[in-house]
Structure 1
């Protein structure tokens, strides 16, 4: 395993880190995903904001500034008002049917009949022609908004105002294919489309040795869920993952060397139309997330300072250690679940990129623009995404002016 990059932060950033806790702990019902332990009926109720399984982990600081973990408390909420308190909702990804069912129910709550019918027509129009398109061509962002949110419900009005705010910085939007890889897809596409050099962590000599090094220390990684490859015999897992990492380095290097912005975009479009290569890159990203999680977990055990999100990541009873994280979360990304919000932080650290997200349903709040991490390194590149619900991410393009963090 490679030596972990220093993640120490000065003591005066403690207050900043605390805001991350607030972001993830506040209104957990809005960002949580129903647990596999709950039935489909309960999962749907959870998405509507009904009582759900709460896992709360309290911390108190020692004089050194490191948190000391106290008891983990599990309780079943019986009062809906309790969900408004600053408490942490962290749960495992559910199966596809439960999520789809809950999304349908949630849409019915805040969309009028015209919007629901329009959505059905849109799905029919795109299902035959665009279902294989990973990143759709760009369209004017306000034109896209008018087509998507024509109703007069409070949510539609809030979304339009959110898009108007985004349109002050970006002229267009590119719709991202809505499968369980969309967070990885949108982030990687943005990172590659603006890269000008190969990141230092990709230039490392032992980068492609990660699978072999980790497998020599952690036998449970042999249970990593590889993507299916039709017509090809599956080799040793370390060789397979090494191949994915080498492909990521190669593609990143090739695109970073393209000088013209138009040519760079064309190269990205071509890459994300090659399904075999595209999904291999996602496997590489997921493995880098696992490597980063192991580094953070070991740093915490050894008494080194770690980001706040790391405590939250391992506070879940479904990912109390990297092995559980792999089994219950990373192995399911792209198959039966996407990235949860706390895992967006992990992705940002794995890529050493700041992920800036316009969360449209949070318009007019201090969480409208959220940074992962919220105290980014100054030299990390910034990629920008748009989400309407913290589940699906699209890509804003053609900046009107420089984005200021």
Structure 2
């Protein structure tokens, strides 16, 4: 799997020019006068980038949340700084920039999507070399293909970065003086009262699953009861016998599977989840436990198989909640919200429009964070930094957790990307 690392330079080009114009600039032959004009534009763009670098625009090579803007009256320089989506380090299928705009009272949110090329390395090459202006489209395309092949063949990098001091990370990412940057710094300062370090998580639309599972495993001291059940591995077979539409489950971007194959493959994923959880929970030493987690999240095949298992457990939980509600049993409030959406009025739609898209074209939405918590029987505590100084700064999923559920803690800057705080106080239960 290929993970492109988007740079700050390429993002500024996307803001300065529309995607169509930019692609045409790279691939269409230019006349002498047009080349001169484009060269002048490029020179201006590079100067602006140099200016922004000197001004201290926040960067992120691995994984971070989207930039957040909250005041309509900001200057052009401030708006440009806040709309830059800092690289998540992942190759998201949509590979788009998402900025979350929040007004002053944080009562309404709206999203702004800015198109980005899915091959930032080629964009950087075009920016850094004057010769790109005068090469034909075929030559540029050949170079782009070579870059993609080179990245695909490289060694798989860990999807959870090594820890770093949380305030050092904050200073690196939020150096500006805009209201949003100040709020983020305040949020990180509050988190630093409980946690000393942070581990950045790859942003490939699996980040919520990745961060939650990593935290759960790194703190695990025993195998959860629901993982010990004898019927646990029979779950795919039992569900498929009742709901024929589950055969359309999308496994790791592989379509067209037969029902039996889907059942067998999901069963393997569930068995792997049980095996890894049991193995890591039995490790006594904290250092050895962390090393085991790090090793697991460096294994691409096993890691993504575990995410498929989590997604299927979420589907099973959704089906149980849906049936309980239809039969007049009491269900948590989030279940009503989950099935009140036009895109998920029943479990079948939830699978097609949401669960199948996780890791491919989208991540977890807020209501699905509740579903994940119920599926794992874990309380997910999230520091929502853009909600600093509000009642929603620390949010619990679910908000009325069971007393015996373990707690995992995450950090988000925008409710889309999640990182992991570590070196926390001895706190495993609420």
Task: Give the TM-score normalised by the residue count of structure 2.
Answer: 0.65
Contact 2:187 2:386 in 1 (8 A): yes
Distance 1:104 1:257 in 2: 41
CA distance in 2, matches of 1:376, 1:305: 15
Counterpart among 289, 292, 296 of residue 264 in structure 1: 289
Deviations 1:313-367 (A, max 9, x none): 0000100000000000000000000000000000000000000000000000000
Q: Deviation of residue 402 (structure 1)?
A: 3.7
Structure 1 residues 182-236: Cα deviation after superposition (integer angstroms, max 9, x where no partner): 0000000000000000000000000000000000100000000011579x99961
> Does residue 215 in structure 1 map to residue 240 in structure 2?
yes
> Are 1:169 and 1:401, in contact at CA under 8 Å, matched by a contact in 2?
no
Matched, 1:398 2:394: no
Q: Deviations over 1:148-200 (max 9, x none)?
A: 00000000000000000000000000000011000000000000000000000
1:247 aligns to 2:243 (yes or no): no
CA distance in 2, matches of 1:275, 1:234: 25
Superposition pairs of residues 279-298 of structure 1, within 5 angstroms:
279-298=304-323
SS of the aligned residue for 2:99 comes to: helix
Alpha-carbon distance between aligned partners in 1 of 2:267 and 2:381, rounded to the nearest angstrom? 29
Q: 1:48 touches 1:102 (CA, 8 Å); kept in 2?
A: no
1:387 paired with 2:412, answer yes
Q: Which digits, 9 at most, give the CA deviation of each residue in 1:277-317, with x for residues without a partner?
A: 00000000000000000000000000000000000000001
Pairs aligned (count): 296
1:339 aligns with 2:335: no
Distance between the aligned counterparts of 1:341 and 1:206, measured in 2?
A: 30
Does 2:400 match 1:371?
A: no
TM-score scaled by length of structure 1: 0.68
- How big is the alpha-carbon RMSD for the aligned residues of Structure 1 and Structure 2? 2.9
CA contact (8 A) 2:156 2:300 kept: no
* Residue 143 of structure 1 pairs with residue 168 of structure 2: yes
- Taking the aligned partners of 1:354 and 1:264, their CA distance within structure 2 comes to 21
* Residue of structure 2 equivalent to 1:100: 96
| Residues 69, 100 of structure 2: 8 Å contact kept | no
1:178 aligns with 2:203: yes
Deviations 1:22-75 (A, max 9, x none): xxxxxxxxxxxxxxxxxxxxxxxxx989xxxxxxxxxxxxxxxxxxxxxxxxxx
Q: Distance in 1 between matches of 2:385 and 2:350?
A: 29
Tell me: CA distance 1:374–1:263, structure 2 relative to 1, closer, same or farther (3 Å): same
| SS of structure 1 residue aligned to 2:343 | coil
Whether the 8 Å contact between 1:353 and 1:383 is mirrored in structure 2 is yes
Identify which of 298, 318, 330 aligns with 2:355.
330
Query: How far did 1:133 drift?
Result: 2.8
- What is aligned with 2:192? 167
Is the radius of gyration larger for structure 1 or structure 2? 2
Supply the distance in 2 between the matched residues of 1:305 and 1:196 (Cα, whole angstroms).
31
Listed as ranges, the matches of 1:51-70 within 5 Å are none
In structure 2, stretches of 5+ residues that fail to align are 1-67, 71-91, 103-119, 125-147
Provide closer, same or farther for how the CA distance between residues 294 and 48 of structure 1 changes in structure 2, counting only shifts above 3 A.
Answer: farther
Q: 1:215 to 1:196 in 2, by over 3 A?
A: same
CA contact (8 A) 2:337 2:367 kept: yes
Corresponding position of 2:380 = 355
Secondary structure of the structure 2 residue equivalent to 1:318? coil
Distance in 1 between residues matched to 2:93 and 2:367, nearest whole Å:
20
CA contact (8 A) 2:203 2:417 kept: yes
SS across alignment from 1:173? strand
Asked if the contact 2:199–2:421 (Cα under 8 Å) also holds between the matched residues in 1, the reply is yes
Greater relative contact order (Cα < 8 A, sep 6+):
1
In 2, Cα distance between equivalents of 1:131 and 1:145 = 27
SS of the residue 2:96 aligns to: helix
Paired residue for 2:324? 299
- Decide whether the 8 Å contact of 2:373 with 2:380 is kept in 1: yes
What SS does the corresponding residue of 1:384 show, helix, strand or coil? strand
Question: Over residues 64-119 of structure 1, what are the superposed CA-to-partner deviations in whole Å (9 max), with x where a residue is unaligned?
Answer: xxxxxxxxxxxxxxxxxxxxxxxxxxxxxxx954x72443999xxxxxxxxxxxxx
d(CA) in 2 for partners of 1:219 and 1:395? 38
- Whole-angstrom distance in 1 between the partners of 2:429 and 2:233: 35
Aligned partners of 2:356 and 2:178: how far apart in 1? 38
